[in-house]
Amino acid sequence: MAQIDTGTWVLVADSEKALFLENVADGQDPHLVVRREEHQDNPSDREQSANRPGRMNDGGPGQKSALDDTDWHELAKERFASDLADILYRRAHRGDFDKIVLACAPQVLGDLRPELHKEVLDRVVGEVPKVLTNHTLTDIEKIVKQELEDA
């Protein structure tokens, strides 16, 4: 059973918003404060892409095939996870935290794990695969504490 000791960080993230929180109380009654907040402006794919997908000649007379357009919205989500991993590496390398809990949307956790540097991975003490970015800090404290106790 992991708990959020004093000084433990909690990353709360979805694909467009991230909160870097720190527990300033003990593990029995955590009190999280915001240390940093990140947002990504990520319009829908339709707003980011070309008017219509390209076409390619197929070799036969007058035959053309449509090409898939790049999903810019999805690429931006993956890039956001990479950006978060970079921030965590810099903060870990500076000694800003010794322990961290990753409380992220399941998709973000999946994108984030392979991006994390070993220096950060060694400090991960728990994961909460839930979307908590729109919860209050009080609710985040309760949910993360409960999830870690149940793990």
**Does residue 66 lie within any of the structural domains?**
no
What gap in Å lies between CA 122 and CA 131, rounded to an integer?
23
**Does residue 1 lie within any of the structural domains?**
no
**Does residue 81 lie within any of the structural domains?**
yes
What is the per-residue pLDDT for 135? 96
Percentage of the residues of the chain whose pLDDT score is greater than 90: 61
**Does residue 24 lie within any of the structural domains?**
yes
Ranges 19-28, 50-59, 70-79, 81-90: which has the least confidence: 50-59
**Does residue 55 lie within any of the structural domains?**
no
Least Cα distance to 34 among 25, 46, 23, 47 occurs for 23
The total number of structural domains that make up the chain? 1
What is the per-residue pLDDT for 66? 53
CATH number at residue 128: 3.30.420.60
Q: How far is CA 43 from the centre of its chain?
A: 17
> Does pTM surpass 0.85?
no
What is the per-residue pLDDT for 142? 94
In terms of residue numbers, what domain contains 106?
9-41+71-150
Tens digits of residue pLDDT in 96-148:
999 999 999 999 999 999 999 999 999 999 999 999 999 999 999 999 999 99
**Does residue 3 lie within any of the structural domains?**
no
**Does residue 46 lie within any of the structural domains?**
no
**Does residue 121 lie within any of the structural domains?**
yes
What is the per-residue pLDDT for 11? 97
pLDDT category at 79 given cuts 50, 70, 90 is confident
DSSP code per residue over the chain: -----TT-EEEEE-SSEEEEEEE-S-SSS--EEEEEEEE-----HHHHS-SS--EEE-SSTT-EEEPPPP-HHHHHHHHHHHHHHHHHHHHHHTTS-S-EEEEE-HHHHHHHGGGS-HHHHTTEEEEE-S--TTS-HHHHHHHHHHHHHH-
**Mean pLDDT value across residues 37-46:** 62
